Amino acid sequence: APRLHLVDLDGAKAGHPLNHEMVRAIVRAVRIPCQFGGGLREEPVVQTMLDDVGVERVIVGTRALRDPDWFARMVQKYPRRVCLGLDARDSLVATAGWLEVSQMPALELARRFQGLEVGAVIYTNIANDGMMQGVDEGTLRDLAALSELGLPVIASGGVTTLADVERLCAVHQQSPRLVGAIV
């Protein structure tokens, strides 16, 4: 794998990372870059994860929805190192470790950050994540629409079989900004 994706689900629910020492140990133990999400809602925490813990990129979801200007400032301060985490149910952004679903369409939130050096948009259909049911047609449409914004997009949630990866590769052929998948 070109990158290891790490998520602190406890931290996402608490509103700040709780397992950063474990993340630090993982970063030191592997030889590939790591990206990290879960509870990143304050600039000092973002800076600590990037500069002290040593992750290559951080993923911000909840704060990006609640304070898009703050998120844009983080992207400007750390170009290509801050990713937009779009966790969605029925194409609407979910936050706080999936405990809340907003009325904000994921595509509309991503559109706010067009033209910025976002590391990636990581789109997770939370209805599919961990269910071993594959990537559905609605998620494929959402991924294609997000990639049309010109931002790099990574598929997450439901990527279960080789057939799912092949379907994502087919979308990539039409939407080359779909650059990866979390498996």
**pLDDT tens digits along 100-139:** 567 788 999 999 999 999 999 999 887 655 445 678 788 8
Alpha-carbon 31 to chain mean position: 21
Cα end-to-end distance, the chain, whole Å: 10
**pLDDT digits over 75-103, tens only?**
999 999 999 999 888 778 876 555 556 77
Query: pLDDT class for 13, splitting at 50, 70, 90?
Result: confident
Compute the average pLDDT of residues 20-29. Answer: 95
- Full-model pTM: 0.91
Please report the pLDDT score of residue 128 as a whole number: 54
Please report the pLDDT score of residue 179 as a whole number: 95
Q: 3-state DSSP call for residue 119? A: coil
Please report the pLDDT score of residue 97 as a whole number: 52
Contact 164/135 with Cβ under 8 angstroms?
A: yes
Rounded CA gap, 94 and 100, in Å? 5
Compute the average pLDDT of residues 163-177. Answer: 93
Please report the pLDDT score of residue 108 as a whole number: 92
Percent of the chain with pLDDT over 70: 92
